[in-house]
Structure 1
Amino acid sequence: MKPTGKLFTIGLITFWYSSNIGVILLNKYLLSNYGFKYPIFLTMCHMTACSLFSYIAIVWLKVVPMQTVRSRVQFAKIAALSAIFCASVVSGNISLRYLPVSFNQAVGATTPFFTAIFAYLMTFKRESWLTYVTLIPVVTGVIIASGGEPLFNLFGFIMCIGATAARALKTVLQGILLSSEGEKLNSMNLLMYMAPIAVVCLIPAALIMEENVVGITVALAREDLSIVWYLLFNSALAYFVNLTNFLVTNHTSALTLQVLGNAKGAVAVVISILIFRNPVSVTGMLGYCLTVIGVVLYSEAKKRSK
């Protein structure tokens, strides 16, 4: 790879890390520390930004070729994926109100476990016995981390598990529903179609479940204009998480992406502890490390089984 190509890839990975970790930390700050306790409205802001920026990137800037929805059946499939995607993001944001980022990331690392379960239940796809064995430390690590988490909250834990399971379900369903050549969409085009559907679903949910959230947000903005900038910056970051993930996938190998993804969770944990100074226990950190080791072994087992 040429030096300029290396610099571009390093810059891309840095931006990917920054946007991923930044949106998690800012979500935590807004929902927990700042006191903006409206995760559904926050998710709606994210999806609105994703709708707008996706359209600009694909239709105007031609970042990727535009792919069209070819039938009502395909649109229905995209809508179903959008609903699951919404459930995942909302549940994840709710969990950040009650759990520290470090523990949230530990639970989120169990995604391969749920992916393997849903893949088996929905497609009867069996992995090698070694792949299933590697899932044992993934789950065991979270159990240990849960027992050693000083700020453990049952409701937050359930929401985090729900977000992780929904994320895995979306991955499996996406492979099933959009498997034919005529229906396949790259992640950026899929986001462009899913995000507006998500906004339509989230508007009534926010108005009903988070009563007077618009009025409260306006009142907060009059008292402290920084909330507007927080929401705008956070929403923009939510889009760039998806954009940079797509670009990093295209500019690196699958193995590199797996290694970077595993390391990203660890970096997020360290940074969140330094910023929010949430208490951590040796047991909790050992549990998280065991989960990460399990995820690495799972990735390696999957690679060898192909």
Structure 2
Amino acid sequence: MSSKKASPLLPSHNTKSGPPSSRGSPGSSPGGYSPFGEPLKRTTSGGKKEDGNQDYFGNGHSEKGEFSLEHAKQNVEITPNLPEQKPNKSTLSPTIIIPIWIALSSAVILYNKYLYSNLEYPYPIFITSYHLGCAALGTRVLRATTNLMDGLDKIEMTRELYTKSILPIGVLFSGSLILSNTAYLTLSVSFIQMLKAFTPVAILLISAIFKLQVLTSRLVLIVVLISAGCALAAYGELHFQMFGFLCQVSAVAFESSRLVMIQILLQGLKMDPLCSLHYYAPVCASINACFLPFTEGLAPFREFMRIGPVIMFSNAAVAFGLNVAAVFLIGAAGGLVLTLAGVFKDILLISSSVLFFGSPITGIQIFGYSLALGGMVAYKTASK
């Protein structure tokens, strides 16, 4: 769980997790297990822009479905937001699905924070394992009872592909979820959402390291703008906690690396959020569970009944519902509209954090976060 990569377990601008993130337990960050992104458009020698084939999770693919590092370079993502997609049979009206997605994405993060702080259930590793276990079971139930998982029929999952691609990406996903949820123990929801704005910069820098992206002057300007905004947001935090800050920064690094690895390792595969969750959830749940005996022990199980099954089950249901909503969000609107929806969601989360949890924010934080959001929107606008 989280809080798309936003995860709580869900990616902030959730959410290319991923899936899973959601973004997430299927998002990157608390609340969201499905972090989503849109590819950078590369200009060819003739001056014509190439988009490349891109699926919901940013998995570039050639006509033959073969891995191509050159093709991966055409699909580098800079923001973990929902990309443009052609409408499919499951598409609902944007006026219906976008508010539902915003509500569920915000609810996962706020619900997790409420569980950790107000109900004094400080067990983020157990919560992520629990959410992922429920997600693994939920996707299999949907597979047997609905057509939402029909995308699995088009995926040829081999043992080699699972070992060399799904497993390492799952490790990064698991690390992102654990670290992001741990940050919520000491940091406010508002401050974490501000730090998540640095994710596009991390993706861009990691892509440059792997030689998937060339840093142009325009992209460098975006990096500087977003970085300065996040630095100001951190500088203005009144209740700064180094441990939580390092956890969230590490979570951003893990989630950004995961999104880049998807570009490199999953060439030829097209997975929507639920199909991605179907493969990643069991892996991540198992990895997370291995840490439980050495970190939180049996305490989460003993406290489970104190919290009550209604709260625990509804918490997992909201997180899983977010991933279902992400499927219907595909094709609902263009990339820029969905980016703005993500920005609105973050502003709503920050405001809700102030109202419900009394999290103070300063003027310098508002200014810095505005700069970061401006950098992301500027990129989306310029890339059209």
State the partner residue of 1:256: 337
- RMSD across aligned positions (CA): 1.9
Deviations 1:50-96 (A, max 9, x none): 11222222342111412444322210111111111111111111001
Identity %, equivalent residues:
24
Deviations 1:220-240 (A, max 9, x none): x1xx4x442222112112222
Aligned to 2:237: 149
> Which range moved further: 108-117 or 289-298?
289-298
Q: Corresponding residue for 2:51?
A: none
Give 1:1-306 correspondences, 5 Å limit. 8-65=93-150, 66-67=152-153, 68-76=155-163, 77-179=165-267, 181=268, 183-218=269-304, 221=305, 224=306, 226-301=307-382, 303-304=383-384
Query: Post-superposition, which runs of at least 4 consecutive aligned residues in structure 1 deviate over 6 A?
Result: none
Do the aligned partners of residues 267 and 210 (structure 1) sit closer, same or farther apart at CA in structure 2, a change above 3 Å counting? same
* 1-structure distance, mates of 2:281, 2:227: 31
Q: Is contact 1:85-1:170 (8 Å) kept?
A: yes
Displacement of 1:153: 0.7
Report the alpha carbon displacement of residue 33 of structure 1 after superposing the two structures with TM.
2.4
User: Residues 92-132 of structure 1, C-alpha deviation per residue, up to 9 Å, x if partnerless?
Assistant: 11001111100000001111001101111123421432122
TM-score under structure 1 length normalisation: 0.89
Task: Report the TM-score when normalising by structure 2.
Answer: 0.72
Question: Structure 1 residues 215 and 235 mapped into 2: Cα distance closer, same or farther (>3 Å)?
Answer: closer
**Alpha-carbon offset, residue 250 of structure 1:** 2.6
In structure 2, relative to structure 1, the CA distance for the partners of 1:56 and 1:132 (3 Å cut) is farther
Q: In structure 1, what residue type is equivalent to 2:125? A: I
Give the distance between the partners of 1:15 and 1:44, measured in 2 at CA: 25
- C-alpha separation between the residues in 2 aligned to 1:254 and 1:118? 22
What is the CA distance between 1:214 and its match in structure 2?
4.3
- Inter-CA distance 247–123: structure 2 relative to 1 (3 Å threshold): farther
SS for the counterpart of 1:126 is coil
Residues 214 and 184 (structure 1), Cα distance of their counterparts in 2 relative to 1, 3 Å cut: same
Q: Distance in 1 between matches of 2:324 and 2:109?
A: 16
Q: Distance in 2 between matches of 1:198 and 1:132?
A: 34
Say how many residue pairs are matched.
Answer: 292
Deviations 1:15-73 (A, max 9, x none): 11111000101111111222111100000111012112222223421114124443222
Return the offset for 1:12: 1.2
* Compared CA separation, residues 215 and 251, structure 1 to 2 (3 A): closer
How many angstroms does 1:243 deviate by? Answer: 2.2
**For residues 191 and 214 of structure 2, what CA distance do their matches in structure 1 show?**
30
The separation in 1 between residues aligned to 2:202 and 2:358, in whole angstroms, is 30
One-letter code aligned to 1:275: F
Task: Provide the rounded CA distance (Å) in 2 between the counterparts of 1:7 and 1:248.
Answer: 7
CA 1:126 to 1:227, structure 2 compared with 1: closer, same or farther past 3 Å?
farther
Q: Secondary structure at the match of 1:73?
A: helix
Of the structure 1 ranges 248-257 and 80-89, higher mean CA displacement relative to structure 2 is found in 248-257
Q: Secondary structure at the match of 1:97?
A: coil
Name the one with the larger helix percent: 1
Q: Which is worse superposed, 36-45 or 6-15?
A: 6-15
Indicate the larger mover: 288-297 or 148-157. Answer: 288-297
The 8 Å contact of residues 108 and 164 in structure 1, kept in 2 or not, is answered as: yes
- The 1:120/1:199 distance shift into structure 2, 3 A limit, reads same
CA contact (8 A) 1:248 1:257 kept: no
- Structure-2 separation of matches of 1:271 and 1:6: 29
Partner SS for 2:342: helix
> Is contact 2:91-2:332 (8 Å) kept?
no
Q: Counterpart amino acid of 1:102?
A: S
